[in-house]
Amino acid sequence: MARGMAVIGSSVEAAQAALTLAELGIEVKLLTPSTALGLENPISRTTDTSSEDLSRIWPLLLRTASHPLVTVHTNTEVRTITGKQGKFTIRANRNPRYVHTDLCTSCGRCEEACSVKVTSLLDGQKKAHSAIHAPIPSSRTAPSAYYIEKGAIAPCRAACPLGINVQGFVCLLSKGKVDEALGLINEAAPLAGVLGRVCTHPCEDNCKRGEVDSPVFIRALHRYVADHATGGIDYRLKAPAGSRRERIAIVGSGPAGLAAAWELARRGYRPTIFESHAQVGGMLATGIPRFRLPWEVRYREVEAIKALGVDIMTGVTVGRDVSFYDLMERGYRAFFLAIGAHQNNKLNIPGEDLEGVVDAVSLLFALNIHVGAAVGLNVVVIGGGNSAIDSARTAKRRSKGEVKILYRRTADEMTAVKEEVEETINEGVSIEYLTSPVEILGDGRKVTGIRCQRMELGEIEADGRRRPEPIPGSEFTIEADHVVIAIGQRPNVSTLNAKWLDIDDATGNIRADPLTLETNVPGVFSGGDCVTGPNNVVEAMAAGLRAAESIDRYIRRRDLRKGRSLEKPKPVDFEVGEKDISHHKRARMPALPPYKRRLGSFEEVTLGLPADAADRETGRCLNCALCSECLECERVCELGAVFHKDNAEQIEIGAEAIIDFESNGGVSESKPGYLARDTQLHLTKPGIYIVQTGENHDLERELARASAIALEAATKFERKEEPQETPYIAHTPGADLARTSEEKELSVVGGERIGVFLCRCGGSTSSVIDFNQVINEVLQVPGICNVQEISQACSEEGANWIASQAAEWKMDKIVLAACRCCGLDQICFSCTERRVICQENLSYSLTPLNNITVEFVNIGEQCAKVHRDHPEDATRKAVDIILAGVARVRKVLPSIHEEHPVEGGALILGAGLRGLSAARSLAIQGYSVDIVSGPEKSGGREQKKSAYRDTKDSLLKQLEEQGIKIRPWPHALKLDGPPGIYNAELKYGSRTSRIKAGTVIIDVGEREGEFPPDSTATAKDNLLGRLLAPESYRRTTGDTDTAKLRKYTLKETGGIFITSRDGEEPPEEQIFKGAAVAARASAYLCQGSVSPRAIAVTIDSKLCRGCGDCAAICPYIEMKERDSGIACAFIDPALCLGCGACVARCPTGAIAQFIQSDEQITSTLEALLGKITCAAGVR
Amino acid sequence: MSKQAPNIVIFACNWDGLSCVEAASQAGYCYPASVKVVRVSCLSRIHQGLILKAFELGADGVILLGCEPGNCHFDIDAGLVTHEYENTRSILNLLGLGEERLVIAHLAHGDGYGFMKQVTGFITEVEQMQPAIPVKA
């Protein structure tokens, strides 16, 4: 349902417009594409607003974000706007932030846990920060919730067929979190120890570090994690074990079968693997030699898979020992055929049948499983793949003679892993490249040699490799007594006895759908080498996982294809060339010296990286994808605010009218109204205001324009008469005590039940400060009824809990040691979003308990964070800080400040363009407006400036239409309070006019009609004259940039608005500056009543001796004559800004600030300087 | 006995002064716990009595931390505070404590680095002074 207005934009101006609307009582949705207000993109400041300006108007952003009528939608990009005025629908994309804005308290624990360090350009400076960070790293923002910088995923992870979060585990390892790293690997795949040794590492091949020097040694790190995790293998289940009763048969216990079983078990199934050999592991056991993959590693990991609830039946060949029919009878609902490729291809040359000619699979099987099989003295291995290399290396360990490899292409074309080829050569195996066998020679029974021919590389074949062609006449013969044929394998499907299965005749592979792995028979799936032909471990495992997904879907009768794709995820776009990356050498894998590898030794050749080398290697990771998704931040967040699964979503927001700062142009149709022309505001259709950013960016000007536009929109906005929640008035000690006189009595006299609460801030303060010690010490203080710790005091639950404790313990005073540093109802430059929320929530929760006074002390930014290097000192200081708070809360004086009503309309003094513009804006809103013109000027100087003249005439005409007359300049003018119900006295000769007004706007200037600052009509004996002569009160005129911006950052309690004195601004700027002032005046009138600031002073007339020292420095203080004839200082608290300069200068102590008395400051000093001890109590 | 870090009291104005203290914290700086920050609404709230009280209670040095001239939140002329500051310094001389134990710093808003520079510089200076004799026994 459309309700309220929407403001679209990320700029400070958008925030200002939203705040203006909210202060006029309109509900506002602020939609910003960035992560926080005032930022153009997540990690750099807006290009238009400098960081200096941003911090100068910080309270404005904070007030906007925390205003009860403003809802901020961050990370929200508007797509379309439909509907018409009063009933717009905004459709927008909410981009993932990965952090719940309403839960995150920006305690910073996640940042500490994050191991990804990113460098960003901030304000032209390089700054390192974590991947999870505040919208501006190490700075505050509104909202303050953190944000995770995520690009696409890293190339290593994208390349991994198993989708292992490579960057993530490397990251965790870099922080020494080995168990966590293993956990992360095992989220994606089992068999970490196997993969860490034999994986063909597509990750390393895609590593961006490889473009700088050489890739990160990921496989070695993978192995390091598997070998050094102390917590054992702990595969996390996705569903309770045994929750699925359907039986599933997996044929083959190789990597594909094991991976499928693992995944199915994690999903609650109890699959059975049938393995024809006695050893579990398929090629892992029979193909890969033990010196590359020790059996213990395989055992350990297979056992862990079994422990998940996987049954493995060894020595059972499906199709021979048990038929598919039998299995179906026994209730098996789905099958996964992962029988691998164990049948060797033939050379198809003469002599292949001779004794001594074996195939690689048989040789490896024989030497791996049956240790002690005989090997010849002159072994020749034919082939260039991994099985050829493994055969040669295994044979070398058994043969006292020579081992030679014949390969028909060159080293570059070998499909074997490069490192293994190197090791093979290290071990003394020779490789004859460009050599192909023509005939195997024998003595009729046994092999004696091979006739070979030399080859050369010809044209490029379909597989991208060059075709080897024989060189005529190059034939030669080599001796051999043992020939191993290792030119590839094909699946042996015949054992399955499954004639119904669709087989590719050419390759012998089982035909299965590439995506779902379903065969021609529903419910029968197949994957791994038996589908692809000989491949590697990682691809086989990936097939296993894919099959598990399909089987799960098949059993649940879900679509096998929906939402799946074979497409690899797109990796992040990372340009190495643009970065400044220093070179670091890749770690070297320590290995057994070659002499230890000979004859009979099956000891593992590679030794694994030592800890220091692994640590250095992790440091080589470039963290290309920024966030590595190691999920450490999710783990450390006590509030559950971080969630990596955040997805972009479409949202719909209703609005009655829209102000758009974002589209910046693209206006098809403009209907210039008066503001439209003057302020580059375009109305594309009624109810939508498109604002274009001005060319000369002057922040004050832009803010004025934003408020003017907001006011314009608000004027047209039809306000509903439904009851709206009144803006919440923040709780302050003073305001609280001001309720009733009885309550006042109670809170002052009632006394000595003080409760102290310590905020752990999600662990960020308690990790430095020893909370137990603080609690023990502070508990000794007399009058303290309890000291308790709380996880997050600023949360709603936290506030409710404090209130419940306060009720239970009958506390009458509370000291909250958290991050808020005062209980004032003001938002200053040091404030943060959480501090505002903290106060709001707490005062809301404490309201039913009535008279509880709260003192806030900061043990975060002012203690734990800045003394984190000395925890003992920080603990000591935290006690002192709390004692100071206790001392202060005891000395809070009851406030006698009263609420003023705000009644009537506006009085505008000065009829320059700004004054007239303000008058018009207020009149349109229906407020009564009185305008008093400045003095007439002689001479026609203004006449010449036609633009000025025209604008003025047009304004005057519009005001006349509204029935507003302009009073001439009086001979004398007197203004009296109290604020909100001002009384002006205008003397025209003998006649006196009186005007009542809720607010006063003064258009100060020297021009015709403007209010002359040094006017004789405004003597110093009245408020007006004093306000216009700040210099007389040791005050500056407030024309610095900071002072001008301050108007937009602070809440007005006095209700007197003075326009800035830049006389030479162009007419249109004066127009919207006037409107901006009108916006603030409207907000003031809109309140209905106004409370003085809690820090405002009061003057005790009994103590005042009338010296006038205070009145000499403050225009708001007036010396009034008493009946006795002695002067006495007087101030209306609503006018007081609370600087306290008068307090410091009062010689008799007649002037008091209730929450900043000398006594309180002194107590603070005593506590901080260690003069108050807990046991002795607070004085 | 190891020399203790000097007690430094900082009267920080609530506006630009405190914003520097906060900014230093946000930027990740650390300073000794013997630096005590007392927040006041404005430096004009501080008078001689309060500064001398700080020394009486054991402060070795006091910094008045406020806005740059012309940027006062209350538009107070910087001269008003400077006047109080100069007076107090002459009293400190009279008392034999030495005027250099009291300094005034006008920092731009949010200048965490400037704050750290001021604090660490002042600590070093105070460390080189003779130990402060408490005004009152």
Instruction: Please indicate whether the domains covering A1-95+648-727 and A900-1090 agree at the CATH topology level.
Output: yes
Closest CA to A778 of A1174, A1172, A1177: A1174
Q: How far apart are CA A984 and CA A336, in angstroms?
A: 93
- Residue B73: φ, ψ to 5°: -60, -30
A1040 CA to chain B: closest CA distance, Å? 7
Can you give the pLDDT at residue A179? 93
- At a CB cut-off of 8 Å and minimum separation 6, what does A1159 contact? A891
Mean predicted confidence (pLDDT) in A161-183: 94
Residues 137-166 (A) with a CB less than 8 A from some CB of B: 138-140
Domains of chain B: total? 1
Q: Phi/psi of residue A626, each to 5°? A: 60, -110
Residues 989-1048 of chain A whose Cβ lies under 8 A from any Cβ of chain B: 1030, 1034-1038, 1040, 1042-1043, 1046
Among A755, A766, A961, which Cα is nearest to A853's?
A755
- A-B interface: how many C-beta pairs under 8 angstroms? 159
Encode pLDDT of A147-169 as tens digits: 998 878 899 999 999 999 999 99
Please, what sign has the CA dihedral across residues A428, A433, A436, A439? negative
Give the lowest-confidence range in A10-24, A395-409, A590-604, A1045-1059: A590-604
Integer Cα distance of B107 and B12 in angstroms: 11
Structure tokens that stand for A1000 in this block: 């006063």
User: What's the whole-number mean pLDDT along residues A788-794?
Assistant: 91
Q: What would the mean pLDDT of A359-369 be, rounded to a whole number?
A: 85
pLDDT for residue A579 is more than 80? no
The residue-averaged pLDDT of A1131-1146 equals 92
pLDDT category, A671, cuts 50, 70, 90?
Answer: very low
Q: What is the mean pLDDT of residues A644-662?
A: 88
Minimum CA–CA partner of A879 in chain B: B33
Query: What is residue A36's DSSP assignment?
Result: S
The verdict on A60 touching B (C-beta cutoff 8 Å) is no
pLDDT for A207: 95
pLDDT at A945: 63
pLDDT at A747: 34
Burial classification of residue A790, based on how many CB atoms lie within 10 Å of its CB (0-12 exposed, 13-18 middle, 19 or more buried): buried
> Which CATH architecture group holds A1097-1153?
2-Layer Sandwich (3.30)
What kind of architecture, by CATH, is found in domain A738-890? Answer: 3-Layer(aba) Sandwich (3.40)
Q: Which residue on chain A is closest to B108 by alpha carbon?
A: A52
Distance in Å, alpha carbon of B45 to nearest chain A alpha carbon = 5
Q: Which CATH class is domain A155-234+575-622?
A: mainly alpha
For A319-358, the pLDDT digits (tens) are 999 999 999 999 999 999 999 998 888 888 998 889 989 9
Of the candidate ranges A206-210, A515-519, A1088-1092, B93-97, the one whose mean pLDDT is the lowest? A1088-1092
Query: What average pLDDT does range A951-962 have in this prediction?
Result: 88
Q: Which fold has domain A1-95+648-727?
A: FAD/NAD(P)-binding domain (3.50.50)
pLDDT digits 0-9 by tens, A726-736: 433 333 333 33
Do A1169 and B47 count as a contact with CB atoms less than 8 A apart? no
Whether A50 and chain B come into contact, CB under 8 Å, resolves to: no
Compute the distance between CA of residue B117 and CA of residue B108 in angstroms, rounded to an integer: 13
State how far the Cα of A582 lies from the Cα of A584, in Å rounded to an integer.
7
pLDDT of residue A737: 31
Find the mean pLDDT for residues A862-879: 94
d(CA A644, CA A143): 19
The domain spans of chain A are: 1-95+648-727, 97-150+626-646, 155-234+575-622, 247-342+491-555, 345-486, 738-890, 900-1090, 1097-1153
Superfamily for the A345-486 domain: FAD/NAD(P)-binding domain (3.50.50.60)
Res A729: pLDDT: 37
Q: What confidence score (pLDDT) does residue A734 get?
A: 33
Residue B3 within any structural domain of the chain: no
Has residue A538 got a pLDDT over 50? yes
Q: Which residue has the higher pLDDT, A756 or A742?
A: A756
Of A13-27, A62-76, A692-706, the least confident: A692-706
> Is B53 within a domain?
yes
- Nearest residue of A to residue B10 by CA position? A1165
Match 């990682």 to its residue by tokens: A538
Closest CB from B22, B42, B49 relative to A1141 = B42
CATH number of the domain residue B49 falls in = 3.40.50.960
CA of A911 vs chain B CAs: smallest distance (Å): 26
pLDDT of A222 above 50: yes
CB A74 within 8 A of CB A92: no
Give pLDDT, residue A674: 31
Distance CA A246, CA A270 (A): 8
In this structure, are residues A1093 and A826 in contact, taking their beta carbons and an 8 Å threshold? yes
Share above pLDDT 90 across residues of chain B, in percent, rounded to a whole number? 73
Are A1140 and B19 inside 8 Å of each other by CB? Answer: no
Evaluate if residue A900 carries a pLDDT over 90.
no
| Distance between first and last Cα of chain A | 58
A1176 pLDDT more than 50: yes
**In chain B, which residues have their Cβ closer than 8 Å to the Cβ of A876?**
33
How confident is the model at residue A371, as a pLDDT?
63
Q: Give yes or no for a contact between A156 and A206, defined as CB atoms under 8 angstroms apart.
A: yes
Per residue in A297-310, pLDDT tens? Answer: 999 999 999 999 99
Confidence at residue A99, expressed as pLDDT on a 0 to 100 scale: 94
Average pLDDT of chain A to the nearest whole number: 85
Residue A128: C-alpha distances to residues A103, A116, A122, A142, A736 (Å): 26, 10, 10, 21, 45
Contact A1139 B76 (CB under 8 A): yes
Residues from chain B that touch A138, judged by Cβ atoms under 8 A, are 26-28
Considering the four listed CATH numbers 3.10.20.600, 3.50.50.60, 3.30.70.2740, 3.40.50.2000, the one that applies to the domain covering A900-1090 is 3.50.50.60
Sheet with B102-107, strands from edge to edge, namely B35-40, B8-13, B61-67, B102-107
Mean pLDDT of chain B: 90
Q: Which residues of chain A does B30 touch, with a Cβ-Cβ cutoff of 8 Å?
A: 866-869
From the list A868, A1095, A1171, the residue facing B41 with the nearest CB is A1095
The DSSP code for A189 is -
E-strand stretches of A628-676? 649-655, 657-660
Residue of B nearest to A827 (CA): B15
Average pLDDT over residues A216-222: 96
Map residue A203 onto helix, strand or coil: helix
Q: What spatial distance separates the first Cα and last Cα of chain B, rounded to whole Å?
A: 22
Per-residue pLDDT at A642 exceeds 90: yes
Q: Is residue B43 part of a domain?
A: yes
ipTM: 0.96
pLDDT of A273 > 90? The answer is yes
Q: Is the pLDDT of residue B132 over 80?
A: no
CATH topology of domain A97-150+626-646: Alpha-Beta Plaits (3.30.70)
Average pLDDT value for residue range A913-931: 91
Provide, rounded to the nearest whole percent, the portion of chain A with pLDDT above 90.
44
Q: Is the pLDDT of residue A685 over 80?
A: no
> Domain residues for B107?
8-128
Average pLDDT for residues A507-529, to the nearest whole number? 94
Quick check: is B75 in a domain?
Answer: yes
**Confidence band (pLDDT; 50, 70, 90) for A82?**
confident
The CATH number for A247-342+491-555, chosen from 1.20.1260.10, 3.30.9.10, 3.50.50.60, 3.40.30.10, is 3.50.50.60
